[in-house]
Amino acid sequence: MAMTTDICIIGGGAIGKAAALAMARAGRKTTLLAVENKHRTSASRGDWDQRVYALNHVARDLLSRLRVWDAMDSSRIAAIDAIQVHGDGEAAGKIDFDSYSSRTEALAWTVEDSNINNALDHALQFATGVTIVRGSASALRISDQLVSVLLEDGTQIDSTLLIGADGANSWVRSQADIGIHYRSYHQQAVVANFRCEKPHHGIASQWFLGEQGIVALLPLPASKISLVWSAPDSLAKALMQESPKQLCRRLSELPGQTLGNFTPLPPATAQALPLRLIRSASMIAHRIALIGDAAHVVHPLAGQGMNLGFGDIDALLAALSTNVQTADCGEAQTLARYARHRAEQVMLMQLTTDGLQRLFDTPIAPIKFLRNMGLSAVDKLPFLKRKLMAHALGQSISS
């Protein structure tokens, strides 16, 4: 059986689903090949997802235009009103960001994986112009005018543009013979959720702990927080073997933390995810565009991985809007425009997160001193702080 569509999207996560909605809303006949997302959380009803995202303004604006943001359960979304970053060692530096100084209503919003996906799934059920296909791709054929995806059941999907939203181990990327730069951080993100003794007041906190990695606490509604501990492999293994109470004790001992004692939220068992840097040689190929983790994977220390994916969708929509009069979505000029649009933002985020990880992973005493001095110095420069937050927010902030 053969299917013909303007755009074929491969991916079973939030980025692929949002892209399908966005392309259909833009008037493009879209087929979503919803491959299984092996990393989807499976929390029981009422439990808090172990995977949460700090979504910035670009993400929220896109989801709002798609009528997905208001469809999410708002009682499970927390605004991040301030961020506190702590250095390491006895002379630890510190830098604070807040929404008031950044002249915005909130710096970001903490949203669970299931909250986003459930709202997207519901929107896709009623979306016109989107066909959802379940199955696994087995082969890819690319010609001058079309790209064809062959499924294991014999189905063939023909389109003028194929979008790869199929994650870090992207099948689309490999089939298009797009090379990558890969580096393992030899760290794992240990994630879990807790109730804290004292209110967090919408403050996200981060500690650079040198050889102990990087700890981030993101606010959840009420007095709850979500932990992302970017821990060296050996420490991550130890953390996963500890009881929830032992992990709570570690968090209560973080220097300068003001949340008191912690209580684990179900599911109490932590989850660990390997951390790596993946930089695609290109975000495009002939009639192919990569978005999300298929195009770039960054260290989670800035919480920008998912936001970059939503930014990709926005940029691809903008590129496609210039040739709305033609059914050919995969024109070379259109894809080149998309790649140029994303190059600076993606490269800057990759260099920033990778550079910070390397800097704070260095145990050399003079470097530890200088990096802490740097944190404190930046904290005294409001203009520079606003510029840094502008990149994280995905928007321009006036001086």
On the question of pLDDT at 396 being above 50, the answer is no
> What percent of the chain clears pLDDT 90, i.e. is strictly above it?
72
Top-confidence residue, 70 or 41: 70
Q: How many CB atoms lie within 10 A of CB 145?
A: 10
> What percent of the chain clears pLDDT 70, i.e. is strictly above it?
86
Q: What is the pLDDT of residue 35?
A: 78
SS3 16: helix
Average pLDDT over residues 71-86: 95
pLDDT in tens, 155-194: 999 999 999 999 999 999 999 999 999 999 999 999 999 9
pLDDT in tens, 304-338: 899 999 999 999 999 999 866 667 999 999 999 99
Comparing 85-94, 154-163, 295-304, the range with the smallest average pLDDT is: 85-94
Nearest to 88 by CA among 288, 398, 336, 371: 371
Q: Distance between CA 84 and CA 226 in Å, rounded?
A: 15
Average pLDDT over residues 358-369: 70
On the question of pLDDT at 249 being above 90, the answer is yes
Output the average pLDDT for the chain: 89
Average pLDDT over residues 362-368: 67
Average pLDDT over residues 234-251: 95
Q: Distance between CA 298 and CA 348 in Å, rounded?
A: 11
Q: What is the pLDDT of residue 96?
A: 82
Average pLDDT over residues 230-247: 96
Query: Do strands 2-4 and 94-98 pair parallel, antiparallel, or not at all (unpaired)?
Result: unpaired
Cis geometry, peptide bond prior to residue 244 (ω within 30 degrees of 0): no
Q: Which domains does the chain have, with CATH numbers?
A: 2-48+113-181+278-357 (3.50.50.60), 59-112+183-274+361-393 (3.30.9.10)
Q: What is the pLDDT of residue 365?
A: 64
Strand segments (E) across 18-117: 30-33, 52-55, 78-80, 82-86, 94-98, 108-112
Specify whether the CB–CB gap between 329 and 28 falls below 8 A. Answer: yes
